Amino acid sequence: MKIPVEKGQDKGFLPDGRYRVEITDIEEGTSEHQNVPYFAARLENEQGFVTQRFYTSQAGMPILLSFCEAAGVHPEEGKDIDTKQLIGKKLSVEVSDHSYADPATGNERTIKQATGFRTA
């Protein structure tokens, strides 16, 4: 069997720890269970990557805005942030595992997440 390795698949997840990363890709979508818009940022360095979702809900905005600030994109009241302007920005993040109950099944799931956003 041959397994194709597509662009961006040549790295594994970053292990737990603090890393300086670059935002290399942004994907936009809507959450599966509550239809909340989000964008997923791929945060990458030479050691690996982590993908982090940012929800545009009222509850998610403080986290999203702290991410933008750390990346050097400063939010201004009344002005939209274009997620495309985040690509290529560098910042420092803390990578760790996060467990939660899957809303569809109730089963516990564990994912890699990025938190603790700081200017690089």
- Residue 12 covered by a domain: no
Alpha carbons 67 and 92: distance in angstroms, whole number: 10
Q: What is the pLDDT of residues 62-114, one digit of tens each?
A: 999 999 999 999 999 999 999 999 999 999 999 999 998 887 788 999 999 99
2 found inside a domain: no
Q: Domain for residue 109, yes or no? A: yes
Which structural domain, as residue segments, surrounds residue 53?
17-119
Tell me if 51 is assigned to some domain.
yes
Question: Domain count of the chain?
Answer: 1
Domain assignment present for 57: yes
Please state, in angstroms and as integers, the Cα–Cα distance from residue 106 to each residue in 32, 35, 89, 101, following that order.
Answer: 15, 19, 36, 5
Q: Give me the pLDDT at residue 8, please.
A: 65
Residue 1 belongs to a domain: no
Residue 67 lies in a domain: yes
Tokens at 15, concatenated: 């292990």
* Residue that is written with structure tokens 């390795």 in the block: 5
